[in-house]
Structure 1
């Protein structure tokens, strides 16, 4: 059960990171975030990723394997967040 929560925390943190980027701010927030708000989003994303890592690492006794699994799950999370941003950008252009 913890790995599902870890997955959702990681995905949410990746979406926050996308929103805090220059492109994500333009596409998802219509360029309405200030630099301070973007930095706050980045800090929240870092907390979410840390919580995701802690949950994933403590699911069983194999901490190293769980940490490697978390790192491997980060790749698809980044891809999903980037694809959502690209999809939203394409939709707003048409």
Structure 2
């Protein structure tokens, strides 16, 4: 059960991280975020990713394997977040 929560928390954190990026701010927020707000979002995303790693590491007795699995799960999370941002950007173009 912890790994499912870890996956969802990681995906949410990646989406927040994409929103806090320059491109994400332009595409998803229409350049409405200030640098201060973007830094707060980045900090929240880092906290979410740390919590995700903690949940994944404690999901069973094999901590090292769980951490490796978390790292491998981060790649699809990054891809999904980036694809959502690209899809939104393509949809907003005339």
Q: Secondary structure at the match of 1:59?
A: coil
CA distance in 2, matches of 1:33, 1:10: 22
Q: Does 1:5 find its partner at 2:33? A: no
Equivalent residue for 2:45? 45
Cα shift at 1:19: 0.3
Equivalent residue for 2:67? 67
Structure 1's consecutive aligned runs of 4 or more residues displaced over 4 angstroms after TM superposition are none
Q: TM-score, normalised by structure 1?
A: 0.99
Equivalent residue for 2:16? 16
Cα shift at 1:55: 0.2
Query: Structure 1: where are the runs of 5+ without partners?
Result: none
Equivalent residue for 1:26? 26
Please, what is the CA RMSD of the aligned residues?
0.4
Cα shift at 1:13: 0.4
Cα shift at 1:7: 0.3
Query: Structure 2: where are the runs of 5+ without partners?
Result: none
